[in-house]
Amino acid sequence: MEKFDVVIIGSGPGGYVAAIRAGQLGLKTAIVEKDKELGGTCLNIGCIPSKALLTSSDHFSFAQKEAGKHGIVIDQVTVDLNKMLQRKDKVVKTLTGGVRALMKTNKVTTLEGIGTITAPGKVSVKSSKGETQEVEAKHIIIATGSVPMELPFAKFDGQTIVSSTEALSFTEAPARLLVIGAGAIGLELGSVWSRLGSEVTVLEFLPRIALGFDLELANLLQRALTGQGMTFHLETKVSALKIENGHATATASKGGEELTFEADKVLVSVGRRPFSEGVGADKIGVEFDEKKRIKVDAHYRTNVEGVYAIGDVIAGPMLAHKAEEEGIACIETIAGKSGHVNYNVIPGIIYTNPELAGVGLTEDQAKEQGIEVRIGKFPFRANGRALANEDAEGMVKFVAEAKTDRILGAHILQHAASELIAEAASVMEFGGSSEDLGRTCHSHPTLSEAVKEAALAVEKRALHIVNR
Ligand code: FAD
């Protein structure tokens, strides 16, 4: 039986990044993956394919609606959806192939099959051909991720009631797409198909979209998406979904009123649940919390000696970069270093147009925690580069602790918010203040100047707006 220092079950961003770090630190490592390709949800059916389609459909939308503003005349713009999907698949293939190559260069053994912990220190791997291999490991990391959550009355059928996986590969834009759930996945994939011609209706149980993000910016995003043609019904609870001849009728209630919605496809994007079926954690006595997430301590150790868990299968935001950081911290702990993740500085992004990005506390969260804060805001319509780009929607907003000026949160609505938020995250990681950021020289003309200006606005000294 081959012996390893570390065996990682699951090759998503948590698992494969942990494997790379383990390889770098000279640990004899194996990674077990049940799917054909490495990379997990993120690379195969999540972050990457969704962003590929978001970019392609954004270009289409630009050619249709925005190019004219720049004096670019395009007579007829059409979509070759097949080619768009092929490009997406090619991007995925390049990246999953890249992960396989990274496993080799870091001397990580890849084991294909379902990994099951049969006892502490022992993993059996059952391949798709039915062959079973046993390996021994000093340390086992469970990185088995998550899967889409179903509605109890609307099981996925893969045709009419679908999850994000199918919504990444529709072979034609559905005439009417109903999206249940206005979180990141629903808004992103709703945007894709809206841009490609679907009539998109979003139903959300809560009185707002984009829960967890700054409310003011989320409301602005909803307004922008409504302007792009998407329809929103908030405080709307779906209670039934009926399928007839491949079409769906959803019944919902809103303020005591019963509503019905007709659709050709229904994307259920109400969240994801941790996935640990088949890994055998329960059989060896690993403890789970009330949401069926594996319980770990600050060093990702479960209650069973030598068994760890990271990523979507444990508590915290279900995000690829969070899983990656946990993978690194977990391996560094195993290697006797001090692995650590700063959960106060994990950015979250919705990649619509404009994008909505946030890191740290929102104004409301700070208030709920009784922290006195000062707010600095700067709109992109006062930023030269945004105007030159004809892309001046949105704003930057900082939440700084009143007493110390330390930045507690940053929130950005802009086409490039996903890139701009990184600066705020870096400053926050070093415990920086709004003054630190406001006094940093930023290149001109750039969108990042709006980040600097919003930081200056905390002390009411922004330069290109009237400070109030
Ligand atoms: P996963 O990526 O889910 O990987 C788990 C792996 O374990 C899978 O490959 C699975 O096959 C394997 N596995 C499970 N059980 C076993 C077993 N017993 N044996 C062997 N293998 C097993 N996050 C972001 O940060 N940014 C985004 O833009 C973003 N966009 C998303 C868009 C969509 C449509 C979706 C669905 C998700 C998106 N996410 C995004 C979330 C992100 O994909 C997840 O947070 C991330 O993939 C979690 O990583 P993980 O390593 O914990 O698990």
**What is the Cα–Cα distance from 371 to 383, expressed in whole angstroms?**
30
180 in Cβ contact with 161 (< 8 Å)? no
How many angstroms does the Cα of residue 318 sit away from the middle of ligand 1? 8
Q: How far apart are CA 130 and CA 350, in angstroms?
A: 40
Q: Count other C-beta atoms under 10 Å from residue 90's C-beta.
A: 11
Which of the following is catalytic: 233, 247, 444, 464?
A: 444
- For the entire predicted model, the pTM comes to 0.98
Residue 338 confidence (pLDDT) = 85
> In the annotation, is 321 catalytic?
no
CA dihedral 160, 230, 415, 423 (to 10 degrees): -70
**Ligand 1 pocket: which of 21, 35, 38, 42 to mutate (most atoms within 8 A of CB):** 42
C-alpha closest to that of 119 among 20, 25, 12, 1: 1
- H-assigned helices in 106-155: none
Q: In 48-113, at which residue ranges do the beta strands (DSSP E only) sit?
A: 108-112
Q: What is the DSSP letter of 90?
A: H
User: 314 C-alpha vs ligand 1 centroid, how far in Å?
Assistant: 12
Residue keyed to tokens 């900082």: 398
pLDDT (tens, 9 = 90+) of the chain, 468 residues, equals 899 999 999 999 999 999 999 999 999 999 999 999 999 999 999 999 999 999 999 999 999 999 999 999 999 999 999 999 999 999 999 999 999 999 999 999 999 999 999 999 999 999 999 999 999 999 999 999 999 999 999 999 999 999 999 999 999 999 999 999 999 999 999 999 999 999 999 999 999 999 999 999 999 999 999 999 999 999 999 999 999 998 999 999 999 999 999 999 999 999 999 999 999 999 999 999 999 999 999 999 999 999 999 999 999 999 999 999 999 999 999 999 988 999 999 999 999 999 999 999 999 999 999 999 999 999 999 999 999 999 999 999 999 999 999 999 999 999 999 999 999 999 999 999 999 999 999 999 999 999 999 999 999 999 999 998
Which atom of ligand 1 is closest in space to residue 310's alpha carbon? 52
Kindly state the tokens that stand for 212: 């967890």
Phi and psi angles of residue 444, each rounded to the nearest 5 degrees, phi first: -120, 140
In short, whether 143's Cβ falls inside 6 Å of ligand 1 is yes
Cβ within 8 Å of residue 380, ≥6 positions away? 386, 391, 392, 393, 394, 395, 396, 414, 447, 450
Q: Give me the sheet containing 257-263, strands edge to edge.
A: 236-244, 247-254, 257-263
| Cα 299 from Cα 291, distance rounded (Å) | 20
Torsion sign, CA atoms 150, 155, 156, 160: negative
| Ligand 1 centroid from CA 426, angstroms | 25
C-alpha span between 106 and 29 (Å, rounded): 9
SS3 467: coil
CB 147 within 8 A of CB 275: yes
Q: What are the strands, taking DSSP E only, across 181-246? A: 199-203, 231-233, 236-244
Q: Cα 240 to chain center, whole Å?
A: 28
CA-proximal residue: ligand 1, atom 15 (nearest): 144
Long-range contact set of residues 437-442: C-beta below 8 Å, sequence gap at least 24: 437/398, 437/407
Element housing 458 (H / E): helix 448-458
CB proximity list for 75: less than 8 A, separation 6 or greater: none
Q: Which of 359, 347, 352 is nearest to 415 (CA)?
A: 352
Structure tokens at 365: 């969260």
Indicate the top mutation candidate among 17, 32, 144, 213 to test ligand 1's pocket, ranked by most ligand atoms within 8 A of CB: 144
